[in-house]
Structure 1
């Protein structure tokens, strides 16, 4: 049986928090970048594990903004209060998948100089992107809201 590591994170103001239960400790999570214009402007890098589980808590749903771009198949979840986006989600075949913005993980030391170069996702078809997300993103996602 695999031991899971509880990894906490969220937006800057605490409106969005999460616990990621990962088979890997946070120091061993794979980091990757994206070369799309949104991610580049945000300076984001991502992590996930397909066998992990993500529990998201949103204190004030009214402060949540959703941003879709490009193929509009995935959605960045942003906190309007502090401007951070802790993760991106995609609804695929009735299931929510997510990838974490690694910069939103509490106390994770990231050396951005060693993150592998981005895949040129613009060269991927929508079907190829979705297949990739199903293979690499977190497939067990629960979102709980309080207001």
Structure 2
């Protein structure tokens, strides 16, 4: 049975006690990265956010192909304004995980916390990434 993106994000939020679970995808017409879904957002701004490949949380994860962990946003390498999803959603700690798919340029799973919280461990993150890989593969097969 195919699960919806909403169901998968709700499952991740429940498993990780996250304040925000969001998905970003590469948008080929604009050559940018856009947030396509968010579970429990503070506002609808994420829908209008688009960052250049390599910028912001999602752009960096897609460019490097590695997870981006931040236990305290005060320790980010660039000013907070360079991370629009973090700023807009008042995130204090997060992990962004690449979702690999051979036929999809890329997607990112963002798990954020609005208060201090321990980040999920690597094994849990790897398992969550697999959920979404399967979802995107099934979605592409249907389209």
Q: Name the TM-score, length of structure 1 as normaliser.
A: 0.29
Which has the larger share of strand? 1
Which has the larger share of helix? 2
Higher RCO (CA 8 Å, separation ≥ 6 residues)? 1
